[in-house]
Amino acid sequence: MKSTQDIKLTKEKKKTIPARYLMVAGSFLLALLLYVDRVCISIAKEPIANSLNFNDKMMGWVLSVFALGYALFQTPGGLLSDKLGPRRVLTAIVTFWSIFTALTATAWNFTSMLIFRLVFGAGEAGAFPGIARAVYSWVPMSERGIVNGINFSGSRLGAAFALPLIAWMISTYGWRMSFVVLGLVGILWAVLWYFLFRDDPTEHPMVSEEEKAFIIAHRQEKEGLPNEEKLSFGLLMRSKNMLLAMGQYFCSNFTFFFALTWLHPHLKETFHLSTVEAGWYAGAPLVAGAFGNWLSGWLTDRIYSRGQWKASRSVPAIIGFSLAAIGLVGSLFMTEVLSATLFLSIAILGADMTLPPSWSFCVDIGKQHSGAVSGTMNMAGNLGAFLTALAFPYLQAWTESVTPFFYIGAALNLWAIFLWTRVRPDQSLR
């Protein structure tokens, strides 16, 4: 029979928070910070345009050039995390992009703004691939869906939180000071990450022996590439799974990046709102996106627990893309800001439901190369984001309507559903 002291120790042990959850808290905060920094430029669109004499097409390039830099450095960023570990790589890149967030405040013309935003995007590129590599080492397979859902909900909550807050900050202190403050916050996160995180749970003093054993027993084993072939960009491009992941993520980002770039100006101009009012309405779809991440992450793990590996990835994604298509088209028929925001929230919720299965799929097929694989998928996704930021103002100028943009987005979502019927998470890089 257990003594009173033994029972007390057992209860205390049960209350202990697993150390891997603290790692997830750090990556959640990083995702939140990443999107606060990213969405700030959209909120500052009007004061920047007035200050530097930019028209809408010029602002389209300012918004999209970030996505170009972000896309081009995804695979290199992922390769670095695979080789050097996410501890050093994430510390370095967060410090780097935070410096360029602050430097945005010094832009004096169109060219300087483009350069700062391009380099800022390149700096952010390694963030999510680095997180994916940390997930491979720290998170058991049965928890990948919800962990990815938590991480990406951080990015959506960060953006939603930023819309009204940054709008107030810009109105009160000006757009230049707002970028400086955000840069300092990023450097603080980088310092804390370096001192508190380790690349593998076996190296961390806060991880108990029981938790180490549990993580190691329930994560994928490292497997070499066929015939010990060295990982290369060419090999990634020959992989059917990789191409399918890239194609569907292109479609997902085409929808979502609208929420980060043109949603705030679109609502403000269409429904004649103030900057802060538009910030509140534009934040609603991003909160819905956070919910979509949680729901999809839970559903991904729930289906996986029933032994249905492929369905655990494809079913949540297919549901998400269906909702995204319905939301985009439905918003076109709304004449009130509340109803339009409701349908756009459905669209972003759906688009974000595709994230946990997408990133879980990359870890499935990438294993120890998860950084490079997820970075390559994210590269394709952000080429979609790059086109979104340009397509919206150019299509609107050519057709004098936003309708073509929304129908194109809906068509891409339907195409992504077909792509998800072809994925094979159990077949690595084939």
> Which one, of 168, 166, 165, 58, lies nearest residue 117 by Cα?
58
Question: pTM for the full model?
Answer: 0.73
Question: Which residues fall within 8 angstroms of residue 179, CB to CB, at 6 or more apart?
Answer: 40, 44, 101, 102, 104, 105
Q: Output the pLDDT for position 413.
A: 96
DSSP string, 334-363: --SHHHHHHHHHHHHHHHHHTHHHHHHHHH
Question: One digit per residue, pLDDT tens: the chain, 430 residues?
Answer: 444 444 444 444 455 677 788 888 888 888 888 877 777 777 787 888 888 888 878 887 887 788 788 888 887 887 888 888 889 999 999 999 899 989 999 999 999 999 998 998 888 888 888 888 888 888 887 887 888 888 878 877 877 777 778 888 888 888 889 889 889 999 999 999 999 888 888 888 888 888 888 888 877 665 544 444 577 777 888 889 999 999 999 999 889 888 877 888 888 888 888 877 887 888 889 889 989 989 998 999 999 988 898 999 999 999 999 999 999 999 999 889 999 999 999 999 999 999 999 988 988 888 878 778 888 898 888 788 778 878 888 888 898 888 999 999 999 999 999 999 999 888 877 6
Q: Output the pLDDT for position 211.
A: 84
Please state, in angstroms and as integers, the Cα–Cα distance from residue 167 to each residue in 37, 276, 283, 342, following that order. 13, 6, 11, 21
> Which one, of 287, 296, 269, lies nearest residue 358 by Cα?
296
Interatomic CA distance for residues 359 and 375, integer angstroms: 10
Enter the DSSP assignment of 225. Answer: P
* CATH number corresponding to 18-219+232-427: 1.20.1250.20
Interatomic CA distance for residues 251 and 320, integer angstroms: 12
Q: Output the pLDDT for position 300.
A: 92
CA dihedral sign of residues 257, 260, 264, 265: negative
Interatomic CA distance for residues 269 and 71, integer angstroms: 29
Question: Which residues fall within 8 angstroms of residue 96, CB to CB, at 6 or more apart?
Answer: 123
> Which one, of 233, 169, 262, lies nearest residue 369 by Cα?
233
Q: Output the pLDDT for position 421.
A: 93
Enumerate the domain spans of the chain.
18-219+232-427
Q: Output the pLDDT for position 221.
A: 60
Q: Output the pLDDT for position 402.
A: 85
Q: Which amino acid is present at 296?
A: S
Q: Output the pLDDT for position 229.
A: 56
